[in-house]
Structure 1
Amino acid sequence: MTSDPAAMPPSQTRPEQTPTPLSAPDFSTPTEVDLRPITGAESVLIALDFDGVLAPLQDDPELSRMLPESARAIRALTTLPGTRVALVSGRDITTLRALADPPESVWLVGSHGAEVNLGTVPTASSSVAPSTTGPSSAAPSTTGPFSTAPSTSAPFSSESSPRRSAEEQRMLEAIDAHIASFEHSLSADPSTGSGTASDGGSGASVRVERKPFSRTVHTRGLDAEFASALHAQVIAVQTEHPGIRVIEGHDITELAVKTATKGDGLRALATADSPAAVLYLGDDVTDEDAFAELEGSRALSGMGIKVGPAPTRAPWRITDPSAVAELLTRLADERRTRQARQ
């Protein structure tokens, strides 16, 4: 690993074990989860997804907010010696920081691992230097990263804009053109869908989140049949541009021009912090990459906890963000008590 904590070594060079197949472990209460490997470790990295873990899922993703109990628990954890907290999200880092409002010491991984912030400005996790000039730079946004119409302005906002390669820029422009095309067709024919919760069902409105390395189409609140048809329409761009990566999650379809995963992001965090133990909590399909990294790498020791009912390779499962808040509160209390006895 280089001195750059955000640099990613080739995956084929890492010593790994074969990941456990996805399964369905029983639900545990926050008090039943065995946290001793984390509470007793000299140093720990606590990595947490945001949407669906710290914040309940919302029809309008701009309304997502961390539960107050989780916010208090995170603040308590950041005051403990040898305890690093990080947020690992599909959101871009600027939006993640604005919505989560974490303490300054909390590290951030955004765009499914493509952005890593270790307390300074965001950088891309594949050794890409930040840039404030050139075709990939963006002015600060006054309207946020979401829109329900094609964007003619800069595609994202950030303290500094991670540089995209020429090929990534070309693919992102192709994605934007593709999205603009089907948005136009939907607006021209309102009968093609049932609309969203925000438009009262009068027509098929599409909510698009624009990130540095991807575009996310949100389908929460749409009629199921229309959402399925929209998903097929969104991913059709991959036929002409096979380098585009399709990411599917809770009521989202994302088109990405980087192949970074949350597993890459977790590895960058662990490399920078060198913790004795790692705890990762996630609820979505993309979090399985982090669970696999935690399980398969001989360099990492720790545990994963799945939030919600979906199949997972994590050994533990809890129900929802309220359970997460209870578990994090317990973790802070038990770790503080154990440290006081040492």
Structure 2
Amino acid sequence: MTVGCKDPKTGKMMKQSVRVSNPTLNFINVPIVRDPKLIPRGLPRNKHLKIESNGGGHLVREARVSTLLDSMRASSPARARPASAATRAASLDDEQKSWIQRHPSALSMFEQITRASVGKKIVMFLDYDGTLSPIVEDPDRAFMSDEMREAVRDTASFFPTAIVSGRCRDKVYSFVKLTELYYAGSHGMDIKGPPPGSRCNGNRMNNGESVLCQPASEFLPMIDEVYKTLVESTKSIPGAKVETNKFCLSVHFRCVDEKSWDDLAKQVKLVLSEYPKLKLTYGRKVLEIRPTIEWDKGKALEFLLEALGYANSNDDVLPIYIGDDRTDEDAFKVLRERGQGLGILVSKVPKETNASYSLQEPSEVMSFLRRLAEWKRKSLRASL
């Protein structure tokens, strides 16, 4: 955009162009002015200005951190408002009942789900953290139980099954340890299937080879550079942890004191201001840094359906996606827009979602998977 400022030598008004370097991050670069008092008017309000020295002049760089802080707080448990315990309980109960009516439990609606699958091939998509494993303070210790692993293995013996996670694909595999699955790491930017020649529930890739999709390969050097910079710039903030997921990064603040969230947000914003090809999103107590390409968990779902041969078979396939995070909403939205498949949100509290059904926690996910496998087992026996 163009703004006016006064030339300190002539006193005349001059037009200056202002370039928005990254609308997603709310950074605005303003041309160098010789006097800080002559900062152009008309800039967006409720933002924080940072003035840096540059060759005798002053470069005005504006970083809006408040929006990011709001997002960080939104991913945290809500604080109780000043009210009586009875009033809060009644209000929450009413809200929960209303939400459950719109997103009923996948366990209580199990028969309806199986009826919808008659004559169709079920394809399972599962998030990892908060879905197959509990959310823990140390992301490196988000282990799934042996019982959950067996439930996933049993499910995969009947249905093509994929793990779709923001984690690095190799990291997710080290947790799950099942070769017969499809793995989509880095929010779907790193997809691979079972080894060539292997068979999973009677299905095989059309070309007989494992799936491999890496649409963001060109960003690897940049991601690695940003990772090193963030590790260095956040090491002074106790509890902050930067995790590399190969094609994206995660900045965990679950163990960071809320008083330090502002400092963490500023550090992340400052680093990313130099990388307009990267975007910032957030999940449950985590900031996600990803390439700006049009790719997410919804795209990964569509890619896997096509790779499995179900791209144009809306009447023959029933995708079921189970996840707990904001990033899973991309997949829920795809299913809703296609009018095909079922999204199941894992959450104990009401949330805005495109999912059709809900489950409260990983233990209910395990029960659902076990029940689904047993239903299929009985169906096959009955058909003999």
> Please, what TM-score do these two structures have when normalized by structure 1?
0.69
Q: What is the aligned counterpart of 1:304 among 333, 343, 353? A: 343
Q: Any unmatched runs of 5+ in structure 2?
A: 1-97, 196-209, 311-315
| CA distance 1:293–1:26, shift in 2 (3 Å) | closer
Q: Which moved more, 1:287-296 or 1:66-75?
A: 66-75
* Bigger radius of gyration among the two: 2
1:279 aligns with 2:320: yes
**Aligned residue identity for 2:173:** R
Where does 1:143-292 land on structure 2 (aligned, <5 Å)?
A: 164-165=217-218, 168-169=219-220, 171-183=222-234, 186=236, 204-257=238-291, 259=293, 260-273=295-308, 274=310, 276-292=317-333
Q: What is the aligned counterpart of 2:133 among 32, 49, 55? A: 55
Higher relative contact order structure (alpha carbons within 8 Å, sequence separation ≥ 6): 1
Q: What is the Cα deviation at residue 244 of structure 1?
A: 0.6
**Aligned residue identity for 1:64:** A
Which residue of structure 1 aligns with residue 124 of structure 2? 46
**Aligned residue identity for 1:72:** E
Q: Which moved more, 1:170-179 or 1:314-323?
A: 170-179
SS of structure 2 residue aligned to 1:286: helix
**Aligned residue identity for 1:111:** S
Distance 2:166 2:326 in 1: 11
Q: Which moved more, 1:262-271 or 1:27-36?
A: 27-36
**Aligned residue identity for 2:165:** S
Distance 2:224 2:160 in 1: 37
Q: Given that residues 106 and 344 in structure 2 are in contact (C-alpha distance below 8 angstroms), is that contact kept between their aligned partners in structure 1? A: no
Distance 2:156 2:359 in 1: 23
**Larger strand share, 1 or 2:** 2
Q: What is the Cα deviation at residue 266 of structure 1?
A: 0.6
| CA distance 1:26–1:237, shift in 2 (3 Å) | same
> Please, what TM-score do these two structures have when normalized by structure 2?
0.62
Q: What is the Cα deviation at residue 54 of structure 1?
A: 0.6
Q: Any unmatched runs of 5+ in structure 1?
A: 1-22, 129-163, 187-192, 194-203
Q: What is the Cα deviation at residue 108 of structure 1?
A: 0.6
Q: What is the Cα deviation at residue 95 of structure 1?
A: 0.3
1:110 aligns with 2:145: no
Q: CA RMSD in A?
A: 2.4
Which residue of structure 2 aligns with residue 124 of structure 1? 213
Distance 2:327 2:302 in 1: 15
